[in-house]
Chain A
Amino acid sequence: MARTAVPGRLTWRVATLTKVADETPTARTLTFDVPGWPGHLPGQHVDVRLTAEDGYSTQRSYSIAEPADGEHVVLTIQEVADGEVSPYLTRALPVGGQVELRGPVGGWFVWRDAEPAPVLLVAGGSGIVPLAAMLRARAAAGSRVPLRLLYSVRSPAERFYADELRGAATGGVDITYFYTREAPPDDPRGAKRIGLADLNTHAWPADFEPSCFVCGPTGFVETVADTLIALGHDPRRVRTERFGPSG
């Protein structure tokens, strides 16, 4: 049985918002300063706790968007219409504002830069966030492992990190977009959901034994993971993270 080191207790820490950047009209990247942050691996997430003045509190989990960098924790949060927490974080929380945060959480959906296998990242919508952390970690580590990112998104306007990803697609990194609702006019594929032909053409062949990471809404992840297995990928090499609406 696989065993890993027992991490210490995950304590709640005060996180101060130091920087915000809009990714799309409904998604925002938040950089927090978290004194005592122990660091994290790309793919891990944090729990965020908000407490109202009358003591009511609630928690949500959000993926970390960037590799470990001292006491900074960077989250990209998609606003869920009528949600409880995400509209506050994407619209209301000001720079200098504080929330509580604990983590890092999750030791399975992680990529380690010492792994020699080629990497396949398949993102659906805001599922790009933990995969972007892996892509960025590869660059930060100077890793040469071949990496392909397949990014399914509704329209060009809804892409996260668009400028950065344009620059990242060099030196062993391939990035392909799959538009589901509205494609640019010069995209011969048009707009449709990702399918067998897309993965057969753009994913690594199963013979290459890539480490596969699939993140997105439940239906997307089910489809992509099932298709990868149909294409011959070993289920043990396909790691998934599914999310439903999480307001």
Chain B
Amino acid sequence: MAIVTPGFFGKRRGAADRLPPGQYLADDFPVLTAGPTPVVHTEDWEFTLTNEVGERHTWNWRELQALPAETPTVDIHCVTKWSKLDTAWRGVSLDELFADVDTAADYAMVHSYGGYTTNLPLEDLLDGQAWIAYEYDGEELLAQHGGPARLLVPHLYFWKSAKWVRDIELMVTDEPGFWESLGYHDYGDPWLEQRYQGD
């Protein structure tokens, strides 16, 4: 049902099979953040997993760095339409962090330093699909891109990959996070173009 816009040809840049619908290739690394960039020092940094009965597992920066690291190279897709291919990260798989967490919950709420939240099904954080990333392109992760550490869940739109991640709280029932409360899709699969509620 799309209408044709006469005289528009577009600039196809290849890699079309790796671009979800409505996305275009970005060369730079744009930033989407709702507010100021929080300053988080690694000496104060903590990351906590809390299960549905309130049991907490906490790592400080040194403990995170001591865990086995992985170096995923992934494509990322922002709901604001840019995609970036073959981005190189270093971080700890959430499978590693969840290894000793006892849970029957189906959902997770991710909380960030600065107050941002985003929700997703727990299963999307497991089985090699998600990391706590602290390096990008061989360098420590810049604060404006979520440093010192951010969640990386590349198979969903990038707002799910919460910057400045602070804790993940497991939930029996789903609850909307920040953008999910403001009209964005609850799940956010870029290949199904789930940008906004109802998509």
Contact = CB atoms under 8 A, between A and B. Distances in A.
A9 B4 contact: no
Given A240-B33, A242-B31, A244-B30, A106 B182 contact: yes
A240 B35 contact: yes
B121 interface: no
Given A14-B3, A100-B2, A56 B36 contact: no
Contact of B30 (A4, A9, A10, A218): A218
Contacts of A239: 34-35
A92 B114 CA distance: 43
A117 to B, nearest CB: 16
Contacts, number: 137
Given A9-B198, A59-B22, A92-B7, A49 B38 contact: no
Interface residues of B, number: 44
A108 B179 CA distance: 8
A222 interface: yes
A194 to B, nearest CB: 15
A99 B175 contact: no
Interface stretch (B9-17, B47-55, B87-95): B9-17
A84 B24 contact: yes
B150 to A, nearest CB: 16
A107 B182 contact: yes
B129 interface: no
Contact of B2 (A51, A218, A225, A229): A51
A56 B3 CA distance: 11
B178 to A, nearest CB: 8
A180 interface: no
A8 interface: yes
Contact of A107 (B2, B24, B183): B183
A93 B4 CA distance: 12
Contacts of B31: 218, 222, 242, 244
Interface string B17-37: 000001010101011111111
A225 B176 contact: no
A189 to B, nearest CB: 25
| Most chain B CB inside 10 Å of its own CB: which residue of A3, A55, A98, A242 | A242
Interface of A: 1-4, 6-10, 12, 14, 47, 49-53, 55-61, 84, 88, 92-93, 97-100, 105-109, 218, 222, 225-226, 228-229, 235-236, 238-240, 242-247
Given A10-B197, A56-B9, A107-B182, 20 more contacts: A1-B181, A4-B183, A7-B196, A8-B198, A9-B198, A10-B183, A10-B198, A50-B5, A50-B10, A52-B9, A53-B6, A93-B5, A99-B5, A100-B2, A106-B183, A235-B36, A236-B115, A239-B35, A240-B35, A244-B31
23 contacts: A9-B197, A12-B1, A14-B3, A47-B81, A47-B195, A50-B5, A57-B10, A58-B10, A59-B24, A61-B81, A92-B7, A93-B5, A99-B3, A100-B2, A106-B182, A109-B34, A222-B144, A228-B36, A236-B35, A236-B115, A242-B33, A246-B81, A247-B24
Interface of B: 1-12, 22, 24, 26, 28, 30-38, 80-82, 114-115, 117, 144, 175-176, 178-179, 181-183, 195-199
